Structure 1
């Protein structure tokens, strides 16, 4: 048999989020990605030259330095998660992992564990039409509200982490519970 290439999946780099205050976060919002949907085109056009929102219509290349993409998540209060051409974007998971409050900017998004977790407690959910007022909506969120969102985000991080073997209340258990909740809907 010939050699078969095997993809290598590396775990998220660990960056500690404990002890960060709202004052230590240097950017109001962050998004980098391709303009592969209407909402992303508008987001980039409206905000890519703004000084408080770090909006880039190109993905950040790993060639520009180690962990640059991750550091941007880590240094930002709100991470913009616009709908794209596919529903498999890792931005929401990245935001949660790095402790950056996700801003869900989509009219049609079925969020993970939506039947279990109250997303309004640890994220900001906006309609696509809010893209034009994005900066002003985020600036209206008080430090107290942000701290509550961020603290709740830290609490739910464990529910989005996969472990081997599974840990209590991690992503594996959340998926199993979600399936159990839907057991009456599934036809055998």
Structure 2
């Protein structure tokens, strides 16, 4: 199945299409999927996160990885186009708990950019988890794993697993 078309509703139906037998869930995202999001190669950044340091996990990630080669982690983002460009250059995008408990909007933004989500949380409940095989779509790590994140992504998850997660997310394989 095609995740982007099924869940994000991208490319299948024109806007505001009514199907009496469907339940339509509006997914909040500032971005739409474009061809660049379907590019597996040409992503030189291992992991990306940009957001306010409004939780322990976010402050810790910023402290550990800001300025570290292979990571693009910052509390500063100048505009949506910069955020967009940085996600398209990244293999993994961190989904860290912020001031609100849910991170679904960031999760959808990450997916729309073809960036494999890395959910770092001890209690995150993914949306639509009864219907979506999230273990085949994202990497889930406990907060205690943050200091080992680079090694986990490079060695434990590895490139072949990233390729499979990417295919599941973007290509719907």
Whole-Å separation in 2 of the counterparts to 1:138 and 1:16: 25
Task: Note the residue ranges of structure 1 that are not aligned, 5 or more in a row.
Answer: 1-8, 157-188
Structure number with greater CO (CA < 8 Å, separation at least 6) is 2
Could you list the structure 1 runs, at least 4 aligned residues long, displaced by more than 3 angstroms after superposition: none
The yes-or-no answer on 1:103 pairing with 2:122 is no
CA offsets per residue over residues 74-114 of structure 1, 9 Å max, x none? Answer: 11100000111103442111011111000000111111011
**Normalised TM-score (structure 1):** 0.70
Q: Which of 1 and 2 has greater Rg?
A: 1
1:49 alignment counterpart: 67
2:53 alignment counterpart: 35
The yes-or-no answer on 1:143 pairing with 2:159 is yes
Whole-Å separation in 1 of the counterparts to 2:37 and 2:44: 16
In the alignment of these two chains, the number of paired residues is 143
1:85 alignment counterpart: 99
The yes-or-no answer on 1:75 pairing with 2:89 is yes
Moved more, 86-95 or 146-155: 86-95
Q: Structure 1 residues 11, 28: CA separation in 2 closer, same or farther (over 3 Å shift)?
A: closer
User: What SS does structure 2 have at the residue aligned with 1:142?
Assistant: helix
CA deviation after TM superposition for structure 1 residue 10, in Å: 8.8
Whole-Å separation in 1 of the counterparts to 2:30 and 2:46: 27
Q: Structure 1 residues 86, 49: CA separation in 2 closer, same or farther (over 3 Å shift)?
A: same
Whole-Å separation in 2 of the counterparts to 1:149 and 1:122: 5
**Normalised TM-score (structure 2):** 0.75
CA offsets per residue over residues 36-60 of structure 1, 9 Å max, x none? Answer: 01111111111112010100023x1
Q: Structure 1 residues 129, 11: CA separation in 2 closer, same or farther (over 3 Å shift)?
A: closer
